[in-house]
Amino acid sequence: MVSLDCYKRVILASKLASSPIAPFSLHRIIPADSLNMSLCLTAEDYTVVWFAPLHFEASAALLMLDEHHVSPLPNRGQQLCYRFGRMGRTNVAIAFFPDGETGIGVAGYMASEVQRALPNIKTGLLVGVGAGIPRYGHDLRLGDVVIATPTENNSGVLGYDMVKVEPEKIVLKQWQNAPDRHIRSAMTNFRASQETPTRFKLNLERFKGTNFPQRFVAPANVLCGSFGEQREPLFHYGCILSGNSVIKSADLRDELAREYKAIAIEMEAAGMMNTLPVAVIRGISDWANADKNDVWQGYAAATAAAAAKELLACLDGSNSISCKYRTLPYLTKCIFSHSSDGT
């Protein structure tokens, strides 16, 4: 006889399959007894923090949650606001930057404050937009995603304006730690899996019907390369420059690129890397030149969030179930055959 629990799981799978919010995701397959949207865990139950520096980046992060939780933190004494929930198998805290504050200094404060409030946080995801550094022959486009990974001469994140000026040269003053082995192992998993692009596109579908732009076209201001054909966003791996300056100079951007062989620029990561193991994921929204604007920020935030969720799935192992096994018929077959075995 089929147990009541198995029946609940089939009903749950049916509801998820018809959900208008996310009709795609393995990560939404959750136990029936976890459907309560007011689920309240303890602060110790959260192990991953998702940093969202800007409001539209935070909006993208919220759309990646599979389940929303009540805050386990008291209002009194808190310096930051959070949203709590689950992505895949992982309980995640989304930490909001104070409005109007950006840069390396506040990022360092955020990493420290989060660990004070949530003692079991072991991993961070810094997710948002960044500026791309175009290179001849490198098909980097607006909306693509750059993930910081160690290269031969840096840890993957480089604080380009944390320097000491000497008479003959400028020397970097501080080295940023690389993401820890767990994160870097997940990056290898992310890059190796043939299903990563499919899962990424399914995550991106959550933005359909929202106010996030839906763009899959080549940028109008490509500075190099020949992009005659449209394509969907790609992932790029390498050094991301991090500093307090908003760069709108192609000359300075290219000078930094030659010096450090970087592929993107952002404004927070260098403040976090030595405080908390952080994966840095940036969607390309401009080229750090005189044409810099906000037009592509929404779409770039969406692609970065979709990639970050899949990287998190690689961290917690929830990407190990093939996409083809997410359909209701397969789930029903597995649930009922599992029950008939008496286990």
Could you tell me the pTM of the whole model? 0.80
Q: 283 and 306 in contact (C-beta within 8 Å)?
A: no
In Å, how far from its chain's centre is CA 322?
21
Query: Of 89, 326, 296, whose CA–CA distance to 202 is shortest?
Result: 326
What is the rounded distance in angstroms from the CA atom of residue 200 to the CA atom of residue 300? 13
pLDDT above 80: residue 234: yes
More confident residue, 97 or 226: 97
What is the rounded distance in angstroms from the CA atom of residue 181 to the CA atom of residue 51? 20
What is the rounded distance in angstroms from the CA atom of residue 121 to the CA atom of residue 81? 16
Q: 161 and 170 in contact (C-beta within 8 Å)?
A: no
pLDDT above 60: residue 136: yes
pLDDT category at 322 given cuts 50, 70, 90 is low
pLDDT tens digits along 180-221: 999 999 999 999 999 999 999 999 999 988 888 765 444 444
Q: What is the residue-averaged pLDDT of the chain?
A: 80
What percent of the chain stands above pLDDT 90? 57
| Predicted local confidence at residue 340, as pLDDT | 39
Report how far apart, in Å, the C-alpha atoms of 57 and of each of 115, 130, 182, 328 are. 21, 11, 25, 32
pLDDT tens digits along 3-62: 444 434 434 433 433 333 333 232 333 343 444 456 889 999 999 999 999 999 999 999
| Predicted local confidence at residue 152, as pLDDT | 82
Where are the strands (E) in 67-156, listed by range?
Answer: 67-69, 81-87, 90-96, 123-132, 145-148
